[in-house]
Amino acid sequence: MNVLINALSPYIVPAIIVFVGYFAHRAISYIPAQQRAYAKQWADIVVAMVEQQFAGRSAEEKKQIAMDAIKGFFTAFNLPCPPDAILSALIEAAVNALPSTLQGGKTA
């Protein structure tokens, strides 16, 4: 069984990545443009704040703090909040866009 999994993994992993990327793109495309812009801006701000203020926490804890903060922004402005999967994708994109110094990485 392990031999079969090892043989197929170079084909399955890229297919899963493409599937997840396509699903996230389709889900995000259904959010109205203004709501999408707000969510992206808030994700960038919240992720930078969480990375600076909660540096000692685990990635899952920081992600939950960021999700709660973005949901709080939508609630404060009386806007409909996107589903958690979309907020998660926006947070991941904002984390990947951070400079490596904020993520705890080393600079050259």
The domain limits of the chain are 1-30, 33-108
80: pLDDT strictly greater than 90 = no
pLDDT tens sequence across 30-62: 667 777 787 888 889 999 999 889 988 998 999
**Could you give the angle at the alpha carbon of 96 between the alpha carbons of 44 and 88, nearest 5°?**
65
Looking at residue 59, its amino acid is A
0.85 surpassed by pTM = no
pLDDT of residue 61: 92
**pLDDT given at position 29:** 62
pLDDT of residue 4: 78
Separation CA 7–CA 33 (nearest Å):
43
Query: Once rounded to an integer, what is the mean pLDDT over residues 66-83?
Result: 88
